[in-house]
Structure 1
Amino acid sequence: MVVRTTAASPKKRTKSPEETHIDESAKVHTFSNLSGAIEIGARVVIAPGTSIRADEGTPFHIGDDSKIQDGAIIHGLEKSRVVGDDGREYSVWIGRGSCITHMALIHGPAYVGDRCFIGFRSTVFNARIGADCIVMMHALVQDVEIPAGKFVPSGSVITSQQQADRLPDVTEIDRAFTRHIVDIDLASSVPVKAHSPATPPPAAAINIANETLYRNSVTPMSLNTNIRAQVRSLLSQGYKIGIEYADKRRFKTSSWLSAGFIDGGREEQVSQSLEASLRDLQGEYVRLIGVDPAAKRRILEMIIQRPEDTPGEPARTTTAVHGGHGNGNGHSDLSVQVRSLLAQGLKIATEHADKRRFKTSSWLTGPAIETKSEAGIIRDIEAIVTENSDEYVRLIGIDPQAKKRVVEMIIHRPGSAPASNGSGKASSYSAPASNGASYSSSGSLSGETIAQIRSLLAQGYKIGTEHADKRRFKTSSWQSCAPIESNRESDVITALEDCLREHSGEYVRLLGIDAKAKKRVLETVIQRPDGSVSSNGSSKTATVAEPSFKSSASGSSGGGTATLTSTLTAETIAQIRSLLNQGHKIGVEHADKRRFKTSSWQSCTPIDSSRESDVVAALETCLRDHQGEYVRLIGIDSQAKRRVLESIIQRP
């Protein structure tokens, strides 16, 4: 069958009494379907497979140099009208130089301005699109008026005027891309001589597109990767996304104003709307809202713009001002902690207290930290620390689902320097070079303690701490430190070092807790008040040899220095192993010389564990705690509730 490129007779196409007027220079394909009162201007190109029916809604106007590509549909409702540029009423008005691409639907009442581009499979219904607008692929524009020169991203659903007003502007890259699409299609369907001189040749358009590879419009206030990742996460879970804003006065009172929800489930569509909102609300606080429509509750509130932010400027990285927890590299320790909390989906907050409140643990809640980005949180923490430079400030990690705290970490102390130089109260997780386990009051943990922590966490146990001054220690009246909810080794170590620093000059002991059985599996002292057993006063660190399970107990003295090395004998180890194999519990008692004469023994800390290594460690701890006293091992039959063994394992 021969395909003609000249205009067909209107009479053959018209199915209604009203006539279709086609300019002589227009190119209308034989396989197109035209009916009703249609005005087709000069140099218009109508490709095969189009359906332009003005037999119900009428009339239609297609302006000069416009192009209607294969499969496009233009229909109209019977009574609804729009006002064209000539002041008359039309069901559909398409301006000069516009392009309606493949499978697009323009359903009147609709107005498409001059030099517009309507992308593949997009729909325009009961809407006005201003001049020089670009509507990308698979978009819906309904019941709105889009201002001139706006860009509608692919997949957008624009059904409210508020959405239309926030659309980004068209860029030169967008125009180059649309010219490329239009001219390639034109070259494949119409002879070269049919091109208007006003239209650039196809080769030139292709070169432009190749030199400027198309990408979606990058607006002046673009979203950073953290925000885009958050948007992607919310959309993948089926949540709705909204926006709220507040000026500085409202921000202080948390009086946010709603900017509505963003319709659509495509990331690019939501990102474009967010960018438009950031531009419109420049100079104000803007926060992203994630809403679970099924549960009808908010699952995310995240500040994405602040008044001081500059359009086009990436997220800033600032140095947090904090003391007592640095390692000579600025805020890297805090950054690691913040990053860890965010990775676990936890919320971050702060508390502060002056010296009086700190002694009674009467903390005051700091300003809310809404942002979810690491840089934003550090910036907020820096501001909080600056405001409370003469007070204690601690970081709080909160599980929003369980509604409980999982981390409490002091990040600033009164009088501390803004950035640590690595000396003083430095945080160190490495084992000391010596063979012994150093229990010091400097706030650092020994290699043995780190190994115990790792072992407890690997077995699923929880970690706790207790402290006592010298008076309470003698009566075993321990006081609990802040709970450690985390099961991450780095978090536990950080919390322990905080506890050691907070209670320097006191006894601190590490607890291993079986949460299911609700019992303790380990109690070991990891800090002592003076940290010394030296008589010359030159050392502030007590070094006690690690349990070696050797069959010797030795003591040496000389030069004014007395160092006691206390180890369990092979016989004692064999007794412990035998008792545990029989299912018996292990206990320990101690007595000084006076009480020993009257058999007035005092109980040591109970040993709840049934693991040999834990029992031996607890016994070694008891021996160190009661040097210069009698200590005896107790074997207990818990079912018969009686003792099966009493053996002295240390003498003064």
Structure 2
Amino acid sequence: MAGYSSAAPPTPWSRGLAEPQIDGSAYVHAFSNVIGDVWIGENVLIAPGTSIRADEGAPFHIGSSTNIQDGVVIHGLEQGRVLGDDQKEYSVWVGRDSSLTHKALIHGPAYVGDECFIGFRSTVFNARVGHGCIVMMHALIQDVEIPPGKYVPSGAIITSQQQADRLPDVRQEDKDFAHHVVGINEALLAGYHCARSSACINPIRAGLSQTFQGSTPGTHGLEESINGTTNTMNNGYGLSPALISQVRSLLAQGYRIGTEHATPRRFKTSSWESCAPIESKNEGQVLSALSGCLQEHQGEYVRLLGIDVQARRRVLEVLIQRPDGKPTSLSTRGTVSVAAPSASNGHRSSTAGTSNGGGSLADQVRGLLQQGCRITTEHADKRRFKTSSWQVGAVIESSNFNQVMAALDSAMQQYSGEYVRLIAVDPLAKRRVAEVLIHRPDGKPVATTAASKGSTYSSNGASNGASNGASSNGYGGGSVSGLSGETANQVRGWLGQGYRISAEYADKRRFKTGSWQTHGTLEGRGDQVLGSISTVLSTHSGNYVRLVGVDPQAKRRVGQVIIQRP
């Protein structure tokens, strides 16, 4: 399907009236222009507002599965050519599986290789960009050849070959991000084709109409339907209360929700494919989209994504459906804690937390081992604990559950007069995905509960060192005076992600105008912060009080919640 396409206009340098050649599987939006000798391969997506004009320089080549996003301009000078991968001359060559993002300019003579990412408003002119390169936003590449696999940072001006040769290599997380964008646009491609087909779109509309018939669209109606009481759309794959709670938590923190699916074969190689993107922030619409994704991909693995749009990273990946019907992380252990911020996408997230704030130590270890994490320990005496100067304990080489649990028990006995915490490490990404306090010298409750009776592991040391608690970071459990359990868990979640907590207050007049006054940052660790909140509430007992989660690195608010009304 094509938008506006036409032959090149007759000019002194082009009288052949060459017309675009567009593969039938490609999608060219009606609000885009494709003019002249342009070859467009299989499964290419050309978004609205794109201009591809081979009316001066020609020909153009756009490889299969490439996406060209809104506002991109591709043009070429009459003079100057590049050598394509087929050893023929082109004014512009764009390889396969590449992304030309919003308002990028590719001006020939120009070559962009396979699996490249060209960021927003970046320009490539009279240049070659090798295979696998990542060019971020507002960059200029001119009169140079970028070697394959190089990273061009945002705002860079690369106009000499010496600059090009000194560019850093692309990291794995950059590749993951670029591939993720391609996956999203493959889903968009399928969606645009579906929207044009009554055979495809009408059943979806009928299903949506049936979903909401007789109930008010919103969270309550959806919770009923996705628990299998009224909605036939799920066919036995209803969303569990834990999954609903997880989605609600992510949305409250300002994150976007996404989904991916994989056949058993693709699952083994971690070759996930994106479901249709969920653009909405409305809880009801998000839950409906999740339900639709599960129905569409029955017989496959499906995972939920939490996405920080501003930082362009994933904060959570959790499996929510298996083709064999076995329980998934959320259906058996409750809400999954969002891992600490990471610069990458596609990394594993900790499943240490639960909807009640914590699971048994055995359950947490088992979940982490199932994700391929390595387990080790750190310890600190009271003085070192205050300054977070942890010391590394014995390395646990084994990935066997019983052996790991025995090693943890040994560590708690060896350092019985100190603090001990469990460390989970993603060996592929070489980063920590969880830090869980499992033993305190004063015997106070810590992050996990004692090993359950059904566990294959039992130890007095584990039981004594891991009594009831609520937080995956040792921030204590139970209710806090003046705070609901949900709010306390929200605070623990922010602290667990490395965020700072501050408090603000306002009387009724200021509240109406949004003129909040700052109480200040609540310093300390988990229990100390929760104690400070009680002090804030009593100090401003006649006012509105709200808590604010702040990302100290990005210097931005990540969320806010009112905890007191006069």
Interval containing the TM-score (normalised by the shorter chain):
0.3 to 0.5
Larger Rg: 1
TM-score w.r.t. the length of structure 1 is 0.30
Of structures 1 and 2, the one scoring higher in RCO (CA 8 A, sep 6+) is 2
TM-score w.r.t. the length of structure 2 is 0.35
